[in-house]
Structure formats: C-alpha cells, structure tokens
Structure 1
Amino acid sequence: MRLRIVPISFAEGNAFVAQHHRHHKPAAGCKFAVGAAAGDRIVGVALVGRPVARALDDGLTLEVNRLCTDGHRNACSMLYAAAWRAARALGYRRLITYTLNTEGGASLRAAGWRVVAETAGGSWNCPSRPRVDTHPLQGKLRWEAA
C-alpha cells in the first residue's frame, strides 16, 4: 500500500511512540508532528520540537525529538523529508536529529541529511539535579538537514 504524509496530533504521536519506540519514552512536547499512513493505518510518526541541547536552541533550529515507525518500508526517510519541508515552511533554517552511533542512518541519508557531529554520550544525571537514565548512554551522531 502506498505511503502518504498525514497530520497527526502530539497526543496521537506520543501514543504511537509509547507503543513502538525501542528505547525512548514519549516526548515532553513538540512544535509539530507528522505521521505516515498506509491506507487508514498510521505506520510512523515524527515529533519535532526545540533542540534538547541549549547551545543549539538559537530560534532557527528544530530537532526531530522522536521518529518511530512500525517497520514499514521507507516510512522513516519519508518522515525525515516531510519534517524538513515543514520546518523550512515555518521559517526554520536547520533541522537536527540524533542516532545511536551503532545505527546505520540509511533513512537519513536517503532523505538528504548528513552527519555534522559525534557526541560522546553519557548521562544528564548530576548531584545538583539527579535524574534516572532510561535511555541509551552511548555516543550519538548528530545529523542535519540545512
């Protein structure tokens, strides 16, 4: 069945993430969300919001905070491309996302994104602001569409 991009609410996107994402919980918020549908069935979502890293939050940059599919072929690259088109239409100049350094990134490359940085990973936990880490702490690659 042919894929198409559809509007989706933040709540619907987060429900999909809660059910399908392999290592992240639902997002805390977003600027916009897009879905990929095969017929009447949602097969993937992208939740786009402000960059998590404060240094990258310049007012012209957004981050794909969650992208999740049920494994439907080409849904990831279609969602990454749609998220970039929507961000550009809203006046943003850059869209970023992160993958684990063990992930290949084929969907991002197919959508025209490129690796711009490698992070060391690690925990946000510190004595002044204790946190419980529920996500992978390994290094990550930062990708950009610009």
Structure 2
Amino acid sequence: MQQDIKQLIREKIKMQGVKMEIRPITLKQASDFINQYHRHHKATIGCKFAVGLYKGDTIIGCAVCGRPVSRYLDNGFTCEINRLCTDGTKNACSMLYGACCRIAKEMGYRKIITYILQSEDGASLKASNFICEGAAGGTHWTGARDRGQEIPQELKTRWVRILRK
C-alpha cells in the first residue's frame, strides 16, 4: 500500500514538467474516459469530432462535439460541445474549449454552444470567451426517447461563442 502511494507521488512529480497537448481521439476513447470521470452524465451516442487532452501519454480530459441536441438550433452552422470531461487538472477545461472552437471554425461552423448546470459557475467558459445566454432547457427529458439516464434534476444555462459572422 505504501509502495503504491510512493509510486503515485513519483509519477505526479514526473508529470509536473510535462506540457498538456491536444490530440485527436476516437469516440470510443472519449466515451471510456467520460464514463469513468464525468460527474453527472454518461457518454454520448455519436459525434462530429472528439479531442483528447494529454499530459505525456496519459489522457487527462476530452471533449465530444456534434449537432445541437435542440432541433431548433440545428441549422447546419451550429456545433454543440455535447460533453467535456477532465480529471481535474488545472486549465484543462479551458484548453479543451479553445480546441473545440478552433476545430469547429475550421470545419465551417459559425457558432458553437454548450450547456452547463445552473449550479456550475462557468469559469472555464468565461476564460474561453463564451457568453452566457441564460437559462435553457428543462430539468429532465420529457420526450418519448427517455433512455433512463440519471441526469441531475436542475436547470441548465446555455453558453455561446460566435466563430464567424
């Protein structure tokens, strides 16, 4: 047991000087990470693209982007960050938000959106130049396709960043 703790401390010290790096990943890799680390959601079903954030050879975060869940916002020029998940590494969320914006812009999207729980402060979104549009969505899924996921019964806020006019 004490040997394991010493090994973890050695690995943590070794990783302090290693820079974070964005890399492409598969939806399967992102889903595995999300199912292990996300606080309140399971992985998504599909995506347009997924990116991973690595420190050395260790994945420390990922983001999954796709079509907007709301059919009213699905105009072909709007991308949604459907899931973003990290292991808690400082600045990891901001790096992933920035990468998603750059990739979506290069793909021709004009706007990118994401949702967070009302209880979350959105510090990483503010740091990534997103603007809060206020409360959006309901507290639970009301459609016929309810998949029975344990989703927090809490309102969300929608955040947006304009990528091009």
- Superposed pair shares fold, TM > 0.5: yes
8 A Cα contact 2:140 2:151, kept in partner:
no
Q: CA deviation at 1:2?
A: 1.2
How do 1:1-146 residues align onto structure 2 when only pairs under 5 Å count?
A: 1-119=18-136, 121-125=138-142, 129=144, 131=146, 132-146=148-162
TM-score normalised by the chain length of structure 1: 0.94
Q: Is the 8 Å Cα contact of residues 97 and 125 (structure 2) preserved in structure 1?
A: yes
Distance 1:137 1:88 in 2: 33
Aligned residues with identical type, % of pairs: 47
Question: Unaligned regions of 5+ residues in structure 2, if any?
Answer: 1-17
Inter-partner Cα distance in structure 1 for 2:19 and 2:69 = 33
Does the CA contact (< 8 Å) of 1:123 and 1:133 recur in 2?
no
For the pair shown, the structure with the greater C-alpha radius of gyration is 2
Query: What is the match of residue 9 of structure 2?
Result: none
Say if 1:133 and 1:11 are closer, same or farther in 2 by CA, change over 3 A. closer
Tell me which amino acid in the other structure corresponds to 2:156.
Answer: K
Structure 1 gaps, min length 5? none
Amino acid at match of 2:50: A
Structure 1's consecutive aligned runs of 4 or more residues displaced over 4 angstroms after TM superposition are none
TM-score (norm 2): 0.83
- Tell me how far 1:122 sits from its aligned partner: 2.2
Displacement after TM superposition at 1:134 (Å): 1.6
Task: Please give the per-residue CA displacement for 1:54-112, whole angstroms capped at 9, x wherever unaligned.
Answer: 10000000100000000011110000000000000000001100000100111111111
**3-state SS of the aligned residue for 2:29?**
helix
Q: Is the 8 A contact 2:118 2:157 kept in 1?
A: yes
